Structure 1
Amino acid sequence: MRTDGVVKVLDFGVAAFLEPGTAKLTTTGERPGSLECMAPEQILSKPVDHRTDLYALGCLLHKMLAGEPLFEHRSELMLPGLVLDRPPTPLRDLRPETPTDLEALVLQLLAKDPRDRPAHAGEVWQRLAPWLPERGDPAAALTPWAEVDLLRPFQHPIGPEARPVRAWASTRRLGHPK
């Protein structure tokens, strides 16, 4: 995390080409990635797509909200079986104060069948929006930060429907009010 609160993901440790016929980056029988966030289709060596990443996001959200991983076992070799066979524990069973809409989103992200997950990350963003802080003044995004501000990425997002700060700043320099 940068000192301005922006998180930069540089490498998940796994890369794949979604284009048919493109050479794979892993060898046969090799399973790249963390078993903790591996989607059922990855475990079964089925084709992956953007919904595989949404499953991993569901695992991360579950861990952040519950304070524990989705599935745990003393032996990491047991995790694939748990992912395939065990339903996720609803967040409200672990944290009763969890809003029902948020729990429903996380459970949908953790659907075993990719077709049952949200259609795309933009949908997830929209459904998470009620729990994000209000967007701030774009001028504040241009201010260098001396200390960590964990809310900055939410107050000045670069996600779907976000107005890029640089575009806003360039219109201000040209004399346009908005």
Structure 2
Amino acid sequence: MEKEFKVEVKNTLSNDFDFYSEVQGTHFSGMRLRIDDIVVPKDISNWKNKKVAFGIEYKDTKRIDGDTTNFTSWIAQCVDYANTKWDNFGYIYILTCPSIHSTSFIKEVDKEKMLTKVMSHLGIGELKNLDRYGWSIVLQENHRIWSEFRGVESGKHWSLERKFGSR
């Protein structure tokens, strides 16, 4: 399921993004990690950050749905990836794919909006398929950075540079 899902996402987004698979990086602990994909826009002319890149961590929601341990492990994995300096890319935002909102677990949480805002400050966003926008890069629950049907949106104004320490 996860492998087929990756192929579907890559096929859909390959007109707009270059994919770099199995990229390695160094976590702040010194441990070497590997992420599923890093994507870079093919056309950066409308992006504020001309070196913009995003990491994608795919998960089969059947493996994490309704299971608190697996769900929180997935989020912790994304936090680790957000605190990793990726070879040739540096520190970048990591996108959960599918969206954390696609799991039944998060739908049961009353404060889901708060969770996605906290995740954004930790360097985690979402790659999700929205009805009117297609595949979309989203931060802080509803800020579309880029969407399949509208192109660069908030990415025109946001630097998307990772921040650490005092905010």
Query: Would the TM-score normalized by the shorter structure come out above 0.5?
Result: no
Rg comparison, structure with higher value: 1
Q: Give the TM-score of the pair, scaled to structure 1.
A: 0.24
Structure number having the greater helix percentage: 1
Q: Give the TM-score of the pair, scaled to structure 2.
A: 0.25
Structure number having the greater strand percentage: 2
| Greater length-normalized contact order (CA 8 Å, ≥ 6 residues apart) | 1
